[in-house]
Amino acid sequence: MDQARLEHIRSWQQRYVDQKKYAGSSVLINRAGEEKLFHAAGRRNLEENLPFTRDTLVRIYSMTKPVTSLAVMMLAEQGLFHLDAPVSDFIPEFSQMRALIPNATSMDQQEPSRSPTLHELLTHTSGLSYPFNPGVLPAAMAEEQLMFKPNQGDLGRMAAHLASFPLAFQPGKRWEYSVGIDVLGRVVEIVSGKSLAEFFDSRIFAPLGMTETGFRVPRDAGDRFASLYTPLVGDAMALNSAQTSNETLRLTDLHGGSPFETADMMSGGGGLVGTIDDYMKFAEMLRLGGRAGDDFIISPKTVEFMMRNHLPGDIASMGPQSFAEQPMEGMGFGLGGAVVLDPALARCAGSIGDFSWGGMASTFFWVDPVLDLSVVFFTQLSPSSSYPSRAELKALVHGAILE
């Protein structure tokens, strides 16, 4: 990688800070297992003028999903279930499902439905949704605050409550970003006999040396936990009623009083906090086909299976009506992340087969098997659709690769 061209990334990060788009950010780039760039810019906490540093802890939100998807596949690899098993085999409340009829305008317009499969939950084709998506079901979910937030209590109770709602559509018919991975977190608990936190710690984090990642901010973290900001008025995740604020960096969550410091919900869809070096260990594990030191936490063949496209075509071909934080044309979806099918259709630099996902606070990572590349980007601004930073960073990284 050309070092002079990598300098453009530093300038780009500083420009976001100077323009008050992000309070601060960090980026870590590895190629062939060697660190090519780490750079941090700006502040993790504007109120106390604290710098964004390498050991800054952030909310990774939906970058939790690849971790939970890996946990599911670790159990599947043990022969404990198959991916076409209905979720009702594990959570009985999903046995008598109903779905909204096509083009429903109210919650009472329902028809019988089968239970979604584990594979449909993994690929966001289950019929479940998120409160911040447009539509009848998301609006009902928003009223009940079905978000699996860190302070919303027991995972099992929340998953059972979710099953009392109809699906947004018949399973397998569409792609819609959803809380399905949270439901799978509960499946991991039921099958393994461990809490999701215990499973992550023993089976994933400990073997990878991810000592600063978990569902709660560590007690000894002090002021390393970054503040969360938004350019919106009101709730930073209420995208259906989003209004731009006069402040581009309005504070929404601060260390010392954050629900992530006392979390009682283990959200497999969005609950983890951690450092950039920890998440790079996870990304490198994927790049290396499941390797953790001299051992493997999962088979290379299973990782290869996860990083393939599991949809009939690209995401756009499945009629999504959900929140989107990156292109859906030319992008497929694997188990835990998006897969580039055609960089030209996606209008974003990338290799065919590169695997990525991000979080609502604008964090992002990708693993490129073709270029032997792993990249992690951290910042703390919600929603992630505020700025095109992900596409810009991919262009910057590809622009620095000359051979």
Identify which of 236, 290, 396, 227 has the alpha carbon closest to the alpha carbon of residue 66: 290
**How many C-beta neighbours within 10 Å does residue 198 have?**
13
- Percent of the chain whose predicted confidence (pLDDT) is above 70: 98
CA–CA distance from 195 to each of 185, 187, 259, 303, 370 (Å)?
A: 9, 10, 19, 23, 36
**Phi and psi at residue 97, to the nearest 5°:** -85, 155
Q: What is the dihedral of CA 22, 395, 273, 336, to 10 degrees?
A: 140
Average pLDDT over residues 262-270: 97
Q: pLDDT at position 241, please? A: 58
**Average pLDDT in the chain:** 95
| Strand residues in 228-333 grouped as ranges (E) | 228-230, 232-233, 243-244, 250-253, 273-274, 291-292, 295-296, 331-333
pLDDT tens string 366-389: 999 999 999 999 999 999 999 999
Q: What is the dihedral of CA 132, 134, 140, 143, to 10 degrees?
A: 40
> Which two three-digit tokens encode residue 9?
């990334």
Average pLDDT over residues 102-110: 96
Whether 245 has a pLDDT exceeding 80, the answer reads no
Q: pLDDT at position 246, please? A: 82
The H helix count followed by the E strand count for the chain is 12, 18
In a 13 Å sphere around the CA of 324, the CA atoms on its Cβ side amount to 15
Cβ proximity of 227 and 253 under 8 Å: yes
pLDDT tens string 298-328: 999 999 999 999 999 999 999 877 776 677 9
How sure is the predictor about 155, in pLDDT bands with cuts at 50, 70 and 90? very high
How sure is the predictor about 242, in pLDDT bands with cuts at 50, 70 and 90? low
Whether 265 has a pLDDT exceeding 90, the answer reads yes
Q: What domains lie within the chain, and their CATH numbers? A: 3-73+199-399 (3.40.710.10), 81-192 (no CATH)
Q: Residue 44 class from Cβ within 10 Å (0-12 exposed, 13-18 middle, 19+ buried)? A: buried
pLDDT tens string 167-196: 999 999 999 999 999 999 999 999 999 999
Q: Residue 55 class from Cβ within 10 Å (0-12 exposed, 13-18 middle, 19+ buried)? A: middle
Average pLDDT over residues 215-223: 94
How sure is the predictor about 236, in pLDDT bands with cuts at 50, 70 and 90? low
Decide: pTM greater than 0.85: yes
Q: pLDDT at position 239, please? A: 60
